[in-house]
Amino acid sequence: MRNRITKTMEWQYPNDYITKDQLALIDILVHNQWKRPIYFTNGAPNENVIGLRPYLYNEGFAYRLLPIKKNTADQQPANQINTLVMYDNVMNKFKWGNMKHARLLDQQSTSLFYPFIINTFLNLSRNLAVENHPDLAVKTLHKYD
């Protein structure tokens, strides 16, 4: 994606006011100078990402802020995914805890966790197929199963 790196990130701030947490985020953006990655949780509401969605790329259960703007002419799926990084995270790095062998999962856990799991694996496998990695897409679906 190097050919799509932007020199400046331009976005529209969505509100007429600013909260302390949004001010802190802006301060991080100004002073970070790309020395450390900036991540947002999958469930972050739009007001928490202050209009940066066009620059957020899914890497599993988090979105990474990258100075890469989506090319609207692309035939890529709607979700912006850093596909090979996400594949490595999902297939090799994530620790799933005791979810697989748990005897009982409460309603809160199942209603919050399973939609994330389904979307993560389906979006990843779809992007792998679109980016000409069908063998990795099949491995992803097998791991999901």
C-alpha–C-alpha distance, residues 140 and 96, integer Å: 15
pLDDT at 44: 75
Report yes or no: 6 and 69 within 8 Å, Cβ to Cβ. yes
pLDDT at 38: 93
Joined together, the tokens standing for residue 139 give 């491995």
Tens of pLDDT, residue by residue over 30-48, are 999 889 999 998 777 777 8
Report yes or no: 120 and 90 within 8 Å, Cβ to Cβ. yes
Q: How many C-beta atoms lie closer than 10 Å to residue 107's C-beta?
A: 7
- pLDDT at residue 129 is higher than 90: yes
- Across the range 94-108, mean pLDDT stands at 75
Give the mean pLDDT of the chain. Answer: 83
11-15, 52-56, 93-97, 133-137: least confident range:
93-97
Percent of the chain scored above 90 by pLDDT?
A: 28
C-alpha–C-alpha distance, residues 65 and 53, integer Å: 9
Tens of pLDDT, residue by residue over 42-92, are 777 777 888 888 888 888 878 899 988 765 555 444 458 889 999 999 899
Residue corresponding to tokens 């792998």 = 128
C-alpha–C-alpha distance, residues 21 and 25, integer Å: 6
pLDDT at 72: 57
C-alpha–C-alpha distance, residues 111 and 71, integer Å: 34
